[in-house]
């Protein structure tokens, strides 16, 4: 006479209605194959693991270097112009290019001159937004430190002048365009680099040309 042993991993019981139900041990059920880079439900694989696009230390270092160079270059040139030229005085350099000292209380190229306080607040908000954007996505493209560095550096330099002097000094005069300074140029170049980077990123990858194997025919 054999004694009853412990219940097996899989047993069959009879329900009150006479139906047989299988009871399986959960430890013997097939477990999902969880791998690094898989989706959260561990069943739908993805092609590659997601990586952080926030700015790293070297992106911040590059941004800081570009911002410092832009602010220093703009401030030095403005100081030289203010030291050697009186207000509205000009010096002809070459062709239409003239150094002409003027004051601008608005934004780039003399726009919104009568709204200094509003321009100052908007510039500060724009600089803050660009810093937040860079912190969250500074590693998306290698040109972002340079492009945003020029934008932030030019905006900061003009912002410092508006807070300290109540106006910015413009001196680059091409006769056919309103006078501007290096900070304005940095802002325009930074925007241009960003646009070019966005266009290049949205361009679909080129498909490799398929070569016909004539010998196989």
Annotated catalytic sites, by residue? Answer: 170, 184
Give CA–CA dist 151/74, Å, rounded: 13
Nearby residues of 150 by Cβ (< 8 Å), 6 or more positions away: 66, 70, 186, 187, 189, 190, 193
Between helix 144-165 and helix 182-202 the angle, nearest 10°, is 150
Kindly give the pairing relationship between strand 20-24 and strand 10-14.
antiparallel
- Beta bridge partners of residue 10, listed in sequence order: 24
CA nearest to 106, candidates 181, 44, 38: 181
List C-alpha distances in Å: 39 to 31, 42, 44, 51.
15, 5, 6, 13
Q: DSSP E strands: which ranges in the chain? A: 10-14, 20-24, 90-94, 97-104, 168-173
Half-sphere exposure of 107 (CA within 13 A, CB side): 14
């Amino acid at each position: 006479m054999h004694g009853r042993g412990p219940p097996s991993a899989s047993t069959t019981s009879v329900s009150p209605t006479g139906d047989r139900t299988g009871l399986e041990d959960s430890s013997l059920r097939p477990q999902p194959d969880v791998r690094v880079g898989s989706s959260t439900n561990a069943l739908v694989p993805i092609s590659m693991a997601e990586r952080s696009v926030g700015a790293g230390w070297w992106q911040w270092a590059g941004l800081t270097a570009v911002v410092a160079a832009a602010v220093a270059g703009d401030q030095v040139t403005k100081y030289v112009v203010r030291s050697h030229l009186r207000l509205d005085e000009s010096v002809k350099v070459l062709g239409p290019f003239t150094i002409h000292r003027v004051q601008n209380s608005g934004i780039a190229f003399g726009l919104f001159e009568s709204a200094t306080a509003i321009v100052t607040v908007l510039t500060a908000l724009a600089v803050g937004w660009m810093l937040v954007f860079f912190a969250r996505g500074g590693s998306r493209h290698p040109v972002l430190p340079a492009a945003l560095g020029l934008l932030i550096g030019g905006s900061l330099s003009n912002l410092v002048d508006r807070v300290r002097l109540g106006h910015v000094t413009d001196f680059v005069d091409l006769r056919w365009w309103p006078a501007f300074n290096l900070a304005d140029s940095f802002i325009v170049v930074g925007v241009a680099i960003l646009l070019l980077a966005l266009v290049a990123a949205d361009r679909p990858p080129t498909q490799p040309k398929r070569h016909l194997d004539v010998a196989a025919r």
